[in-house]
Structure 1
């Protein structure tokens, strides 16, 4: 066979493979007579649960196929922003910072799509999070619960700390502080006692709230008030005293402290339910969950929800409506809680999550009990993602000890306000 003939055949074969691959991935709107929708998420670990749920949907709706795309969180917000602006976004996508899209008319109105009664099935805090201007802009999928403390039983035993002591801990700038003395005991048996670091949901917000402060007042950033100075001064002191890892490590890797805990090198790891499944799978030591420390204003946690939004430019609005109705139903949403990965947003399904961990011998009540008290808002509004991005490097320098806390918070507040205003 001549080389030119082989080349032509090779090109033809490559074309066939590319076409077949495109069809298999759902890159065309029609797939053997089916309407093909695309769903974008940022966590690959959710693919099996979503695939199982969507397979059940497709059996009941044989004219629709749903393909899942995973874009890692590190690039997700920016890529979604560009794709929505360029008309290349999927029909459905995960969102937690939705306000800019809603204000720009880029999202489907869920109430108009599914009916006003649909919200009765969903966690009220999740509904509140995705309501703006009197309209709901996403179908809640799962909630994080509150913040708690994972602890290493072996390290506590080595330091002669009873796990029951953790429930009584108090952090304070005054003489009634009991957290720092306990951390010093733990630091004698572990490289690090605690994960004090710039971690927005697990550390920043709970400390701000339990100091009596807030992150935002409406769309104004107010975390630099005296309560904010109290909270961040306490945290940065823990780092300076070696009770928590250096910010040189935690600034460059958001997973540094979780990895340290999983490796048995950290005694206490304050976080949420979003890390529970991984810790259960990968921690090769005895561990448990306790209430987070109480601050001057008590225990104040935040909670957060992830929702699925409908792209207002979709060419298949009826199919999108049916998928959203399924993902927001008790039957469709329960798949997200069956393996204990997350707490379903459908209230009727949340027992599935608790039952799963009860069978594993894990008491998850600290994540829920903390929400019986006051909560701090997790922030939002136009330009919120840009504001967080502007804050990060300044607070990173603060945790490194290079900028005094009051100055750093003031600068970060100004940077956040300016970044949000430019959006």
Structure 2
């Protein structure tokens, strides 16, 4: 994806469960047109993913593929996310990689540069017309498309109306402004939604910012889910010409605003996992997080809603991440691989993923199934889908994108803890991120 992948969002199940899944897939991918049950003439295409739930959905999808293409079967394997990229690089170099596999934009760019991926433009022609354009672009380098986008995620603002309603806060209309002022509706919401153990709010006599019982919004050093959207809302580009470029006066204003939320007690000094836990406990009113967190968020929220991002002086920009299915150019089953890739690019091929609400389908024709799935759970996710159709924030790409983002976040953590002034910290974070991007 145009961005590094975060393992928490794509956690795979244990190896025992993966083994059981493989057995189930093998049992169900027989040739339905063979009266004798002999599948010796069928071609088996192997596919690797890092998510157990997605593998289960793909098993259903590939049953439908085999029904229409009885000479093509697909065997799925699951590799845990933490080991995925390293295993992929090793197996591709050794010639033992699966025929098709999941990749984020960073892994796609790395393996495309090594000439190990199928050229999707040549293989599928005009099929990409039915895919979300912004998401599709995440898997293209130098004008060539290397992946069939499967599902995407965007940063969203989640809230529980049972908490925001009584406080008189409408999260769908929130704005922020550097230094506060008339356009800073978030500041007022932060006061109303934050309280210490005695029920006092920021600005009340005796309010204890170090002992907040409820927080307004998460505002930690998570670069992609928290910091980047605020930078974009203040007219700051996170990346320019492939380099981090956020250390500017406007960048300082955006980060200072977030740091002030933490220092005044309106936001917890917690990472993304901690913020998610606080939201699910009812102690965090607004959660700015990836749409990939929706299944976990929905488990406990009483009246879960989705709002557009908080707008800043320059409005808002979508922050979009994605996963694609890529073809191994070394595969001995070129025709069958092409059939599988074509299937994975259709609304029908992505329907099983969509109906489980695992991620927004990249095939536009499958997105209604995703919306309806969450409607049945009482959640209107349509505000989330607009992220891919708004101006999209450019994020780090290439083989070292993950390392670059990690380096930036390490320095930002020191800024939020008060160990570095904002301006100095941003410059140091930018330098550290670019050094990581340059690492060979």
Number of the residue aligned with 2:189: 182
Query: CA RMSD for the aligned pairs?
Result: 2.8
What is the correspondence of 1:390-409 to structure 2 with a 5 Å cutoff? 390-409=407-426
Deviations 1:87-122 (A, max 9, x none): 3432222112121211111211111222x2111111
Deviations 1:215-265 (A, max 9, x none): 111212202122222222211222222222224xx2xxx422112211222
Candidates 239, 263, 272, aligned match of 2:290: 272
Number of the residue aligned with 2:231: 208
Structure 2 CA distance for aligned equivalents of residues 179 and 26 of structure 1: 49
Structure 2 CA distance for aligned equivalents of residues 226 and 319 of structure 1: 54
Candidates 112, 116, 119, aligned match of 1:102: 112
What is the correspondence of 1:10-159 to structure 2 with a 5 Å cutoff? 24=23, 33=40, 34-96=42-104, 97=106, 98-114=108-124, 116-144=125-153, 146-157=154-165
Structure 2 CA distance for aligned equivalents of residues 79 and 246 of structure 1: 34
Structure 2 CA distance for aligned equivalents of residues 255 and 40 of structure 1: 27
CA separation of 1:104/1:175 partners in 2, compared to 1, >3 Å: closer, same or farther?
A: same
Contact 1:167 1:292 in 2 (8 A): no
The alpha-carbon deviation at position 52 of structure 1 amounts to 0.7
CA separation of 1:372/1:236 partners in 2, compared to 1, >3 Å: closer, same or farther?
A: same
Q: Which runs of 5+ in 2 are unaligned?
A: 1-18, 27-37, 200-212
Contact 1:209 1:375 in 2 (8 A): no
The alpha-carbon deviation at position 155 of structure 1 amounts to 2.4
Number of the residue aligned with 2:175: 169
Structure 1 CA distance for aligned equivalents of residues 64 and 337 of structure 2: 16
Number of the residue aligned with 2:6: none
Contact 1:304 1:378 in 2 (8 A): no
Q: Which is further off, 393-402 or 122-131?
A: 393-402
Deviations 1:14-54 (A, max 9, x none): xxxxxx99x95999xxx963433332222222222111101
Structure 2 CA distance for aligned equivalents of residues 334 and 147 of structure 1: 23
The alpha-carbon deviation at position 163 of structure 1 amounts to 4.6
Contact 2:223 2:409 in 1 (8 A): no
Number of the residue aligned with 2:249: 226
Structure 2 CA distance for aligned equivalents of residues 89 and 404 of structure 1: 47
The alpha-carbon deviation at position 372 of structure 1 amounts to 5.1
CA separation of 1:377/1:65 partners in 2, compared to 1, >3 Å: closer, same or farther?
A: same
Structure 2 CA distance for aligned equivalents of residues 124 and 374 of structure 1: 12
Number of the residue aligned with 1:363: 380
Give the alignment's TM-score, normalised by structure 2. Answer: 0.81
Contact 2:172 2:308 in 1 (8 A): yes
Number of the residue aligned with 2:218: 195
Structure 2 CA distance for aligned equivalents of residues 83 and 238 of structure 1: 46
Contact 1:40 1:69 in 2 (8 A): yes
